[in-house]
Copies of this chain bind each other. A is one copy, B any other.
Amino acid sequence: MTEEKSANAILLLSCQDQKGLVYNISNFIYRHNGNIVHAAQHTSVTRKIFFMRIEWELNGFVIPREEIALVFKHVASQFDMTWDLHFTDTVPRLAIFVSRHPHCLYDLILRRRMGEIRAEIPLVISNHLDVKPMIEQFGLKFMHFPITPENKADQEQRQIEEIRKHNIDLIILARYMQVLSNRFVEEYPNKIINIHHSFLPAFAGAHPYQQAYDRGVKIIGATSHYVTEQLDDGPIIAQDVIKISHRDALDDIKLKSRDLERTVLAKAVRLHLENRLLPYGSKTVVFE
């Protein structure tokens, strides 16, 4: 998360665990005169999968950045890797979806202003009009897509068109109270991050505050995850919790939870934007 002087390259990869992986990857970088600044790996013992995130300086690296993928492809194919190449000077573009509760949305906007999140926000989408004045006061583009059972498919189609038009890299559901259709979700695998206001898998679905209050739990939580076709069941990126007591009425729970939601979503977004996440199955490897 430190500020880089010049840009770095980042490889995120996974493959079947086998001998020689670290050697071959580090050899690729070393023999082209690269200087590794961060490297982390993980092996899933149960699944025999190898995961790696490796970051090196472009400065001095003998392969021009446009050709790195071309050259690395040969290493990758040798081990049947799934991989992505990123550069730290890319500025990703976010679309933020929200309904009526704007705390996560405002939090992301302010973090971006203060340099905590490095991204553009070309698009804020809502099924309500509540946040429109504030968003426009912030100088951002607001689009209103009211959703009814009848117009949902059409509206989603129009949303997808806007997302394409604005070259969006990541969609953030910042307390967006509409369930996205499978068709929408399939369009953006591992490109939609949601914040759910409970400690998943507890209190999935509707009204998690009320569910937590009714059950009498002594701790509440918030969960940020990639969105998959199964509601509230995607790979978890970040979670946090806070203690509550019998003194906390439903409104107190909401207040405490909102602080969690803000920080947990912001953390998940930052991890994604810094290319620190490797989802697999219902899980994520998080290279913090």
Contact = CB atoms under 8 A, between A and B. Distances in A.
Interface of A: 1-3, 19-23, 26-27, 29-30, 33-46, 102-103, 106-107, 110, 113-114, 116, 134, 137, 199-203, 214-219, 221, 235-241, 243, 245-247, 249-252, 255, 258-259, 263, 266, 281-286, 288
Contact of A255 (B1, B36, B243): B1
A46 to B, nearest CB: 8
Contact of A216 (B29, B218, B283): B283
A246 B30 contact: no
Contacts of A107: 110
Given A19-B30, A239-B218, A263 B255 contact: no
B40 A40 contact: yes
A34 B23 CA distance: 11
Given A39-B22, A215-B282, A218-B239, A1 B251 contact: yes
Contacts of A249: 1-2, 45-46
A208 to B, nearest CB: 11
A236 B259 contact: no
A246 B282 CA distance: 12
A235 B288 CA distance: 22
A287 to B, nearest CB: 9
Contacts of A110: 103, 106-107, 110
